[in-house]
């Protein structure tokens, strides 16, 4: 089993456990359930923002512990003050050291779109995403049959959540594209081998139809690379590790944004 298969196998167990522990009826009682969501697509396209989707990421299967202790409140506020367009919060517990509560903390302290970063395979997790305060979900093409992905995307829309579909190659993109998506993310990291190359984003850009906001994900640690990727049509940039490995992730994000601005002058 590769790591992605391991994560999905565990996720199936987790979701079944959660359905018993917190039934859907309970999720629907959350204060966030009736609230309107904030469009990530719109925020990424705003001229006064950087396009950065800044991620709260404590650890990962490829890097181990990145930042175990910094407070989600401070990090998320720091990111938004730095000029990030949106937040991404990992909620996977076992492999990424996240939790649902982290997203809710980010929600309490920020008015901005928040992506629930997890491995979504079931409608239950989408209802849960809404109940913890998310505005958008991630659907990973490598983990889902195309018809199932479309079903889940439609379900997310029925709850007012936007959908970022993640692909890593042209085959995944071609088989999984549908009108029911809002943003398409190209993961520069191969989730089965962990090798990262920005060429993946550059190669796939021309095949993503213009109706979707293009997002380049992972391995971004250089403002010049972001400026370069914009030439390929990318408007969103999902960055976790580079910010989180600093003692003050918000400050690292602010400096990154300033450098982009300097390069673009
Ligand atoms: O920490 P990085 O290299 O900046 O990457 C962020 C983000 O792209 C990465 O966390 C990610 C992209 N797709 C995922 C799917 C699941 C978990 C995590 C991810």
CATH of the domain at 171: 3.20.20.70
Q: Which atom belonging to ligand 1 lies closest to the Cα atom of 243?
A: 4
219 lines ligand 1 (CB under 6 A): yes
Torsion region of 160: left, alpha or beta (phi above 0 gives left; psi -120 to 50 gives alpha): left
Is there a catalytic annotation at residue 117?
yes
57 lines ligand 1 (CB under 6 A): yes
Question: Beta 213-217 vs 236-239: how paired, if at all?
Answer: parallel
Q: Which atom belonging to ligand 1 lies closest to the Cα atom of 92?
A: 17
In tens, the pLDDT along 121-160 reads 999 999 999 999 999 999 999 999 999 999 999 999 999 9
ipTM > 0.90 (yes/no):
yes
**Domain span holding position 216:** 3-28+37-264
For residue 116, give the H/E element and its range. strand 114-117
In tens, the pLDDT along 154-197 reads 999 999 999 999 999 999 999 999 999 999 999 999 988 889 99
Is there a catalytic annotation at residue 102?
no
Here the tokens at position 216 are 């380049």
What pTM did the predictor assign? Answer: 0.98
**Domains: count for the chain:** 1
Residues paired with 90 in a beta bridge: 117
Is 90 exceeded by the pLDDT of residue 1?
no
58 φ, ψ (degrees, to nearest 5): -85, -40
Is there a catalytic annotation at residue 25?
no
In whole angstroms, what is the distance from residue 118 CA to residue 98 CA? 9
């Amino acid at each position: 089993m590769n790591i992605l298969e391991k994560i999905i196998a565990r996720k199936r167990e987790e979701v079944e456990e959660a359905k018993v522990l917190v039934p859907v009826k309970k999720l629907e009682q959350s204060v966030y359930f009736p609230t309107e969501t904030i469009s990530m697509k719109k925020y990424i396209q705003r001229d006064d923002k950087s396009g950065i989707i800044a991620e709260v990421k404590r650890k990962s299967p490829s890097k181990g512990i990145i930042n175990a202790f910094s407070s989600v409140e401070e990090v998320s506020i720091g990111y938004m003050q730095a000029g990030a367009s949106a937040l991404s919060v990992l909620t996977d517990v076992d492999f990424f050291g996240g939790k649902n509560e982290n997203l809710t903390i980010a929600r309490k302290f920020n008015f901005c779109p928040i992506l629930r970063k997890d491995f979504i395979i079931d409608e239950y997790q989408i209802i849960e995403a809404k109940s913890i305060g998310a505005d958008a979900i991630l659907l990973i093409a490598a983990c889902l049959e195309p018809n199932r992905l479309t079903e889940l995307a439609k379900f997310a829309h029925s709850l007012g959540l936007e959908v970022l579909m993640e692909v890593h190659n042209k085959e995944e993109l071609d088989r999984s594209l549908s009108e029911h998506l809002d943003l398409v993310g190209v993961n520069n990291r191969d989730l089965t081998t962990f090798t990262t190359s920005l060429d993946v984003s550059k190669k796939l850009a021309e095949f993503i139809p213009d109706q979707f906001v293009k997002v380049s994900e992972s391995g971004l640690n250089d403002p010049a690379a972001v400026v370069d990727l914009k030439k390929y049509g990318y408007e969103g940039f999902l960055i976790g590790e580079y910010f989180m490995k600093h003692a003050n992730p918000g400050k690292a994000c602010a400096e990154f944004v300033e450098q982009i601005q300097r390069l673009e002058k």
